[in-house]
Amino acid sequence: MRAAEPLPRRIHCVGLGGGGLGPLAGLLVARGHEVSGCDGAPTFVPGPLRARGIAACAGHDARHVGATELLVRSAAVPDDHPEVAEARRRALPVLKYAEALGRVMASRRGVAVAGTHGKTTTTALIAHLLRAAGRRPGWIVGGRPLSLPDAAGWDEGAHFVAEACEYDLSFLQLDYEVALVNSVAPDHLDCFGDERGVQAAFRRFAARVPAGGTLVLGPDVPAALDWPLPAGARLWRAGGDLALAGVREDAAGFAGQVAGPAGRAEFRLTLPGRHNLDNLLAALLAVKACGVPVEEAAAHVESFRGVGRRLQDLGESDGSVAGVPAGVRIVDDFAHHPDALRAAARAVRGRWPGRRVVGVFQPHQVSRTADFLDGFVDELAHFDETLLCDIFVARDREPQRAEELVSALAARAGARTRRVGPARACDAAVAARLRPGDVCVVMGAGDVDGLAARLAGASAGP
């Protein structure tokens, strides 16, 4: 923990609709800052942020900078953005989201949760377990945690738990005593170039653990990777220092034991997907590094309800939504990488065996679709039928290739895949393909957000 450099009172946020900057803005308001902000995404709705005391507006204009003393931007906001340019013209400080979060964390004992997959759920789980154990942590989660009062909170305990994104090397801006790496797999190749670039980034993240700190590695982290820890830092591995035993799954979730040098306890986890068992092991080790025994933390696992759009079970349709037959299970998921598609397919087949599984998938980014086209083709084969939305274009240098790539993906994925157009306007096309008894998994990180809820309807229940 280092001395915190205080942030000025008036702060303007650009990219306020993002999963990181929106929660951070709310946290800043709770700490007494005057916060304004904007977002240019067509799906951005400023009303909920205004209700929390943030002067939010849609669209971008240099005049929005107003009387601010600091501008904070998301990593996706370019240098030539009009509000960024105006702030620099006026010699105002400009920070990226992670730099601002690092300043906020610096006064606390940081717990930074990274990994190609699983970091949102694991961050929320660690914060939930620390809260349930009475430790009163601060936290920030890049999603909607269902067992926390909000996506971000401050409170008065010693620790602050933060989701740490690797894109743009953002996680190197954070301040932490405990670092967790859930998985290391190729992703964001527009940023890192190749798999070795990804691995090098995570090794740099691990190298910043201080003497006396702890690095926790998830079971998915390749055993051959070398981790450059300073003298006096601890390395704990999920699957070694804490492992699963006697695990069974039923309609209510998983039950079993965790055991190893780190501790021993019974647990029950209601979330679907065996990958969430890996998240659980890593979370328990991180919580132990914060001073909570495994036995104490495991007692609170059953009350954890997960995160919105992370294999979120929206229940069975009841026939009240036009075109959607009764008896379709609707599951909402953020999956946008081939590994995540595979995990989603396995999770729903494990939780609801014997049912036809329909995947609705919106590819995210032209570059990611091009980089992992073969992987997407392979993983879409795990669904009985796939309904393919148009690519969500974000941070792309070649947006004109979107149509070419989604056409190639549909053609190569075979006869069980059909295109349904833009995610925001495909409800009827999706509903027409569903049958009673199906499990429909809506997947993607773009504006497919909201489709599952529309298909489920307000009356759907578990």
Residue 237 falls inside a structural domain: yes
Average pLDDT over residues 63-67: 95
Q: In angstroms, rounded to a whole number, what is the distance separating the alpha carbons of residues 271 and 252?
A: 9
Do 202 and 90 share a structural domain?
no
> Does one domain contain both 156 and 247?
yes
Q: Residue with structure tokens 């004992």? A: 109
Specify the pLDDT at position 6. 86
Q: Residue 93 — very low, low, confident or very high, per pLDDT cuts 50/70/90?
A: very high
Average pLDDT, the chain: 95
pLDDT tens digits for 156-214? 999 999 999 999 999 999 999 999 999 999 898 889 999 999 999 999 999 999 999 99
- The answer on 272 and 131 residing in a single domain is yes
**359 and 422 assigned to the same domain:** yes
Whole-number Å distance between alpha carbons of 296 and 438: 39
How many folded domains does the chain comprise?
3
The answer as to whether 5 is a domain residue is: no
Residue 1, pLDDT above cutoff 80: no
| Final residue in a domain of this structure, among 39, 64, 95 | 95
What's the rounded Cα separation, in Å, for the pair 328 and 355?
A: 10
| Claim to verify: residue 329 and residue 444 sit in the same structural domain | yes
* CATH number of residue 234's parent domain: 3.40.1190.10
Which pLDDT tens digit goes with each residue over 395-435? 888 999 999 999 999 999 999 999 999 999 999 999 999 99
pLDDT tens-digit readout, 174-185: 999 999 999 999
Is pLDDT of 458 > 60? no
Picking from 99, 249, 80, the residue whose alpha carbon sits closest to that of residue 162 is 99
Q: What are the tens digits of pLDDT across the range 294-307?
A: 999 999 999 999 99
Examine the domain organization and report whether 165 and 293 are in the same domain.
yes
pLDDT at 425: 96
Same-domain pairing of 174 and 136:
yes
Q: Does residue 111 lie in a domain region? A: yes
Question: Are residue 110 and residue 91 in the same domain, yes or no?
Answer: no
Residues 263, 119, 12: CA angle, nearest 5 degrees: 130
Q: What pLDDT is attached to residue 256?
A: 98
Is the CA virtual torsion 251, 253, 259, 260 positive or negative? positive
The dihedral over CA atoms of 332, 336, 342, 348, expressed in degrees to the nearest 10, equals: 0
Is 303 a domain residue? no
Confidence of residue 387 (pLDDT cuts 50, 70, 90): very high
What is the residue whose two structure tokens read 């069980």?
416
Query: Which pLDDT value is given to residue 295?
Result: 98
Kindly state whether residue 461 falls inside one of the protein's structural domains.
no
The pLDDT value recorded for residue 314 is: 97
Q: At residue 5, does pLDDT exceed 70? A: yes
Together in a domain, 355 and 441: yes
Residue 415 placed within a domain: yes
Q: Are 113 and 209 contained in the same domain?
A: yes
CATH code, domain carrying 78: 3.40.50.720
Q: What confidence category does residue 18 fall into, taking pLDDT thresholds of 50, 70 and 90?
A: confident
DSSP 3-state of 460: coil
**Which residues contact residue 175 at a Cβ distance below 8 angstroms, ignoring those fewer than 6 apart?**
1, 2, 102, 105, 106, 110
Alpha-carbon span 455 to 372, nearest angstrom: 29
Q: What is the pLDDT of residue 23?
A: 95
pLDDT of residue 34: 98
- Shared domain for 267 and 126, answered yes or no, is yes
Report the alpha-carbon distance of residue 179 to residue 235 in Å, rounded.
10
Q: What is the pLDDT of residue 378?
A: 97
Position 460 confidence tier, pLDDT thresholds 50, 70, 90: very low
Q: Tell me if 101 is assigned to some domain.
A: no
Distance CA 231, CA 229 (A): 7
> Would you say residue 108 has pLDDT above 60?
yes
Q: Single out the residue in 73, 95, 117 at which a domain terminates.
A: 95
Per residue in 137-157, pLDDT (tens digit) is: 999 999 999 999 999 999 999
Residue numbers of the domain that contains 355: 312-456
3 pLDDT band, cuts 50/70/90, is low
Q: In this structure, is the dihedral angle defined by the CA atoms of residues 330, 331, 332 and 338, taken in order, positive or negative?
A: negative
Tell me if 2 is assigned to some domain: no
Domain with 358 in it: what CATH number? 3.90.190.20
Give the end of a domain, one of 75, 95, 115.
95
Spell out the residues 6+ positions from residue 242 whose beta carbon is closer than 8 angstroms to its own: 236, 258, 259, 260, 261, 262, 263, 281, 284, 285, 294
Report whether pLDDT(462) > 60.
no
**Same domain assignment for residues 360 and 413:** yes
Cα(69)–Cα(66) distance, rounded to whole angstroms? 9
